[in-house]
Structure 1
Amino acid sequence: MTKTANAIFSTCLAIVILSFFAYSPSGGAAEKTDIYSGYYSRDGNDDRPAKISGNSIYIKFYPDQWVIMLYVPYPYSTSLKNEVLHNVFREVKKQAKSKAYIKGKFGFLAKKAIAHIETYEMKEPNKAVFECDGTAPCRVIFSNGYMEMRKAGIVSDHIIKFNRINE
């Protein structure tokens, strides 16, 4: 092979290898992560993102392909215990019969929150897609202890980290 052909081959090989690692949060083969036994809390729920948006965001996935996004008013959200949020998710799941937005206290909250109920589709053992707003579907990548939500942006994707809260 010539030097040019070797350089092209090496470059192509490097691109293939790097793209493999770029799409797997564990840095290797995709692993199946348990996404159902807890919920996810947006990184910074008690900080700047919550102050700016006025809400803390929590997300729960269910094996029957339902996902609930819970928007709890900030700063009220900072006073909530994990077991309260687990109970709220259970109550919303009981009330939800289809895709919807439901506003209420759900029997456990002192202030009204908004629950957005959608379906999701698993694309790989650790990747899912669902409608999270009106512009484009959200893609999530699950890893041990957290998930990354990717929302389409004009120039690049917005990547939002959510920490896992176990039951």
Structure 2
Amino acid sequence: MYLNNNSLAIVITIVVTLLVPGISIAKGEQELQQSEGTVLFYSGFFSREENDGKMARLSGKSHYMKFYPPNRIIRLFIPYPYSTTVKPEAIASVFNTISKKSVGDAFIRGKFAVMDQDVIANLGTVKTGQGIVLFDCDSSSPCRIEFTEKDLKVIKKGILADHIIVYDHVKVDTH
């Protein structure tokens, strides 16, 4: 049996709704709400811990993410070790350029006028409900995001234990 994209989306929504009652992952969900004491997630961007260390060497990429209102997420993958030479202002510029290239979900590859090597951007949406932030993260179930005062944690469901990936908040002065 083959499912088209709409049927697959409906099946996934039903399964997630049954597994995680009380939340909705329908498109157009409310804008991310910032609670007191959390980072300003629309300012700056987030950089995965060890972006210039073991994780980057193992994966061959440094990972970054940025949020845009009302429910947009862009994940940026910069080749390692080239990523160690890239300034935060250049990364912020790439995010802003990418955010204007597509209104839907997409993968985009390019230099975006400031990079010396091709980088890959993944544009997607986050879904919120009852204080939970979810996004599709290349796994069989959505990833959950938890914000703190200085970082965020991406939580991927695992078979024996959840996988937690910490991203540090990077403030960028664009003036």
TM (normalized to structure 1)? 0.78
Equivalent residue runs for 1:2-151 within 5 Å = 31-124=37-130, 127-151=132-156
Give deviations 1:87-111, integer Å, cap 9, x for gaps: 0000000112210111111111111
Letter matched to residue 151 of structure 1? K
Which residue number corresponds to residue 17 of structure 2? Answer: none
Aligned counterparts, 1:154-165, within 5 A: 154-165=159-170
CA distance in 1, matches of 2:130, 2:171: 22
Alpha-carbon deviations, 1:108-163, whole Å to 9, x = none? 111111100000023355x4111111422110100111001101111111000000
SS at match of 1:95: coil
Counterpart contact for 2:151–2:169, Cα < 8 Å = yes
Segments of structure 1 that go 5 or more residues without pairing to the other structure are 1-28
Q: Distance in 1 between matches of 2:137 and 2:161?
A: 17
User: Which runs of 5 or more residues in structure 2 are unaligned?
Assistant: 1-34
Relative contact order (C-alpha < 8 Å, sep 6+): which is higher?
2
Report if the CA contact (8 A) 2:44-2:170 is conserved.
Answer: yes
Structure 1 residue runs of 4 or more that deviate by more than 4 Å after TM superposition: 29-32
Larger helix share, 1 or 2: 1
Residues 135, 143 of structure 2: 8 Å contact kept? yes
Q: Which residue of 2 is the match for residue 153 of structure 1?
A: 158
Residue-pair matches, total: 138
Structure with max Cα Rg: 1
TM-score (ref. length: structure 2): 0.74
Cα deviation, residue 55, structure 1:
0.3
Partners of 2:63 and 2:49 in 1: how far apart?
9
Greater strand share, structure number: 1
User: 1:136 and 1:30, CA in 2 relative to 1: closer, same or farther beyond 3 A?
Assistant: farther
